[in-house]
Copies of this chain bind each other. A is one copy, B any other.
Amino acid sequence: MTYSVEVKVMPLKELLDPQGKAVIGGLKNLGLQSVEDVRIGRNITLQIDAASPEEAKAIAEEASKKLLANPVMEYFEATVI
């Protein structure tokens, strides 16, 4: 069966996110003053052929470790949807 797994890859909380900081500036220029912080990461949806949701999640985590996320700068969360 094919499962959809969503992987969120976000910059580690300890690190600055210059892309997010630039977006805060852009939003302030557009008049959206109430946005206090922005962090930008990736959202990756995988269609995985697996025997169970647990297996699909394990494959997505392997894919994240090997290719999708850079553990020096990012963390990831995989969720079967």
Majority secondary structure of chain A interface residues (helix, strand, loop or mixed): strand
**A46 near B41 (CB under 8 angstroms)?**
no
Q: How many residues of A contact B (CB 8 A)?
A: 33
Which residues does chain B contribute within 8 Å of A32, judged by CB atoms? 59, 62-63, 66
> A10 at the A/B interface (Cβ < 8 Å)?
yes
- Residues of chain A at the chain B interface (Cβ within 8 Å): 2, 8-10, 20, 23, 26-27, 30, 32, 34-50, 59, 62-63, 66-68
In the complex, the answer to whether B34 meets A68 with C-beta atoms within 8 Å is: no
Alpha-carbon gap, A10 to B49, bound state (A): 22
The CA of A63 and the CA of B36, in the complex, are separated in Å by 12
The answer to whether B34 and A39 have CB atoms under 8 Å apart is no
